[in-house]
Amino acid sequence: MKKPDATTVIESNRFKEIVWPLPVNELLYVGRATHTKLRRKGIFTIIGNLANTDPELLRFWLGKMGVVLWQFANGLDTSISFFRFLVLLILLQ
């Protein structure tokens, strides 16, 4: 996965395999307070939990950031900052 310039490329067909097993608090913008709220709702991982939760339910619990987190968990965000975050996260593991 690592390229010569230390950039990690996550192909769309491997996104779920690589990102979904991570704990939900590893996701960008999930701080202490959000992590606590998600844990109370039984959401512990990106796989199956956050990614498969109804985005409108997340909006109800967390406001508009709930939908943003759902998009991140499903690989629907294409911002550079999110992908840089994923690269750093994977490199640090």
* Domain assignments of the chain as residue spans, ordered by start: 12-92
Instruction: Please give the Cα distance from 25 to 46 (Å, whole number).
Output: 9
Burial 50-82 (b: 16+ CB within 10 A, else e): bbebebeebbebbeeebebbbbbbbbebeeeeb
Q: What is the pLDDT of residues 23-72, one digit of tens each?
A: 888 887 888 999 999 999 999 988 668 989 999 999 999 999 999 889 88
CATH code that applies to domain 12-92: 1.10.150.20
Residue bearing the bigger pLDDT, 15 or 34:
34
Residue bearing the bigger pLDDT, 83 or 12:
12
User: What is the value of pTM for the model shown?
Assistant: 0.68
Q: Is the pLDDT of residue 83 over 60?
A: no
Among 43, 38, 39, 48, residue whose Cα is nearest residue 16: 48
SS3 76: coil
Q: Is the pLDDT of residue 4 over 90?
A: no
